[in-house]
Structure 1
Amino acid sequence: MSIKEKIVEWLRELIDKNRQVEVLSFYDEVPIRVKVKPLSIENKFVQWEIDPKLRLAVEDTGKIFTQFFDPEYKQKRSLEGNVIYFNNKFLETDMLNISTDPRLSRKILRVKISDSCPVEVFIVNNGRKEKVKAWDISEDGIGLILPKNCVDYNEKINLELIFPFGRIKTQGIVVSKQPFQDGEKVGLFFPNLSPKEKDLIYRYIMKRQKEILKTIRLLTE
């Protein structure tokens, strides 16, 4: 039996038994988990119950994620589906497929940087500072929006980060690049932060997480 056939069989069993499954999506990079039921499968599309928190997250992310137990491999496998349509009553995705989304393997919380709680980031090169747009941040690294092909994998970049309550001068190593609008979203790893610097980032993440969760409550209650 192919993996697609296994997924369809699993979904049909959930539908027949009227069972919920935990579904994950992201809002401002914070994972949102809810339990919903798959309602139907038709023409390679899956219709799901919708939850107010899930609706908010898929509007931001455009995907849902879940897991199913593969009896052949005797392990859970991560799945994802692209959201095709949603309203107040249900959402529809394409057929679930195996997911390799790196967000699913994160061990450290990452948050999207907001205008209301900004982080100013400068690339420092030969004494010159160039301000760049920061996208998200964790204690391990930061995502920046840069022009295409302006940095290479494993390149070391000197950075200055200015938070609402302090600043950090550090180095980032380019570990990922992906297309983003007219440029690239570049992921940098912080190899040598001090405990004090990590604590500063942690304080920012906690502040943003509270802000995000408050927004979710206001928009869904």
Structure 2
Amino acid sequence: MAEQDLNPLYKSLSTEKDFFENYREKFVDSFLKYFKKISNMDLSDERIRTLSEGIYKRLFSFQGNPLDELYSLGLKMYETKVDIRGILSKVFMVMARDFLEHLIQKEKDIMFLKNYLTLVEAYLDTLDKANIDYVESLQEKLTSILKEKKADQTQTIIDILRVKKENIKVIDYFYEVPVTCSSRLLRIEEKNVFLDVSRCVNKIFEKDHYVFVKIDGLSKTIKGKVEEINYDKGILVLTDFEYSPIPQEKRRYIRVRLSQKIPVILTRGGKEYNGLIDDISIGGIGVFLTDTQDLEVGVYVDIVFVLDGYTIDVLGQIRYLSPIGRVTRAGIGFMNLTARDEEIIGEFVTKRQFEILKKLRQL
């Protein structure tokens, strides 16, 4: 790491040499106290004292630049789950108080305290850098492990598909309505699987979208990305496989997307938010919003919209907020639907399903 020039600070603080030479034992005692309080690492008092003595000598002898050594120490401490930054920040605060008392007694300029704080800030910044780099290294290792795991999983899935050539069910969702296509394996080229979907309504498939695959005898559902689709020849190319449950199957209520978005007004704390309903079920709605200021997951909002000439006024709770470009999609669950509300929404969902199925047959 790039070294910071500490010499001006060392030169200033060296004039208070008597304080720093006499403070070593107090530093060690403070370090021992906070180490045992903050860290769960089981070390003897003797080893902790030896560690703290080495740290104090390196940081306050005012010779050379200790930042690289402090950085290395920080990495080692974080690897052993010791919050060295938390420990030293406490010790430095106690030391700052004692240094201030020393300066007052000696009638010295407050500039020395400022220089001390600048120095320990450089030390703490170094430990922060070590912590960030340690976390990033863990993330890199985790990413590498996940990539290897997914590669193995992908290869396993491809091997299964190579054996189970017939009756491969591909599931996609058309306006939230599930469509199952019974396909068969044509061939496999590296990580790409070619399926015959000529007997299906294959126009529901879109390039770069994800679909789900079910195979007889396999309890897990497979997710794959549409790499290519030839509508005329009825060939679907899937890649990027992994095991994944189908999110829609976990829903308690049938959900449908709308062909024409319905305006909706959300109210919270006297502020109104205008949005458009994208999908609906008896359980809630998916809404597109351009303004989400003061909205967050878990808050309650009043919802008003008109469905087939019937006004629905209901309390809702925001379940999620997902930014999509310049708008945000909000998932909102209904909290107090009346029996009449449920009837109206249920009839609308059923009617919308028939519309979707009719549109599907026209593809």
TM alignment of 1:152-167, pairs within 5 A: 152-167=296-311
The amino acid of 1:155's aligned partner reads V
Alignment of 1:77 onto 2:220: yes
The amino acid of 2:160's aligned partner reads W
Structure 1 contact 173–191 (Cα < 8 Å) conserved: yes
Alignment of 1:33 onto 2:189: no
| Change beyond 3 A, Cα 1:22–1:68 | closer
Q: Per-residue CA shift, 1:36-89, capped at 9, x if unaligned?
A: 11222212111111247542322399221023478xxxx711211111111122
1:194 equivalent among 338, 351, 355: 338
Q: Per-residue CA shift, 1:63-120, capped at 9, x if unaligned?
A: 21023478xxxx71121111111112201121321225522322421100122xx533
| Change beyond 3 A, Cα 1:196–1:131 | same
1:112 corresponds in structure 2 to 257
CA RMSD of aligned residues (A): 2.5
Deviates more, 1:29-38 or 1:42-51: 42-51
1:121 corresponds in structure 2 to 264
Q: Per-residue CA shift, 1:169-208, capped at 9, x if unaligned?
A: 0111111233323222211111221221111111111111
The amino acid of 1:9's aligned partner reads D
1:43 corresponds in structure 2 to 190
Instruction: Return the alpha-carbon distance in structure 2 between the equivalents of residues 142 and 197 of structure 1.
Output: 13
2:212 corresponds in structure 1 to 65
The amino acid of 2:164's aligned partner reads L
The amino acid of 1:14's aligned partner reads K
SS at match of 2:353: helix
Instruction: Return the alpha-carbon distance in structure 1 between the equivalents of residues 222 and 291 of structure 2.
Output: 30
Deviates more, 1:102-111 or 1:81-90: 102-111
Q: TM-score, normalised by structure 1?
A: 0.84
Deviates more, 1:120-129 or 1:194-203: 120-129
Sequence identity of aligned pairs in percent?
Answer: 24
1:3 equivalent among 150, 153, 156: 153
Structure 1 contact 119–164 (Cα < 8 Å) conserved: no
| Change beyond 3 A, Cα 1:149–1:159 | closer
5+ residue gaps, structure 1, are none
The amino acid of 2:178's aligned partner reads P
User: Bigger radius of gyration, 1 or 2?
Assistant: 2
Structure 2 contact 262–278 (Cα < 8 Å) conserved: no
Instruction: Return the alpha-carbon distance in structure 2 between the equivalents of residues 28 and 175 of structure 1.
Output: 21
Instruction: Return the alpha-carbon distance in structure 2 between the equivalents of residues 21 and 148 of structure 1.
Output: 44
Instruction: Return the alpha-carbon distance in structure 1 between the equivalents of residues 286 and 208 of structure 2.
Output: 16
Deviation at 1:35, TM superposition (A): 0.8
Deviates more, 1:194-203 or 1:118-127: 118-127
Structure 2 contact 208–227 (Cα < 8 Å) conserved: no
Instruction: Return the alpha-carbon distance in structure 1 between the equivalents of residues 210 and 155 of structure 2.
Output: 21
Higher-RCO chain (CA-CA 8 Å, sequence separation at least 6): 1
Structure 1 contact 53–216 (Cα < 8 Å) conserved: no
2:244 corresponds in structure 1 to 99
SS at match of 1:9: helix
Instruction: Return the alpha-carbon distance in structure 1 between the equivalents of residues 219 and 309 of structure 2.
Output: 42
Structure 1 contact 155–173 (Cα < 8 Å) conserved: yes
Instruction: Return the alpha-carbon distance in structure 2 between the equivalents of residues 159 and 53 of structure 1.
Output: 40
Deviation at 1:122, TM superposition (A): 1.2
Structure 1 contact 157–171 (Cα < 8 Å) conserved: yes
Deviates more, 1:53-62 or 1:176-185: 53-62
| Change beyond 3 A, Cα 1:142–1:53 | farther
Q: TM-score, normalised by structure 2?
A: 0.53
SS at match of 1:76: coil
SS at match of 2:206: helix
The amino acid of 2:282's aligned partner reads E
1:132 equivalent among 260, 275, 281: 275
| Change beyond 3 A, Cα 1:53–1:136 | farther
1:141 equivalent among 284, 291, 307: 284
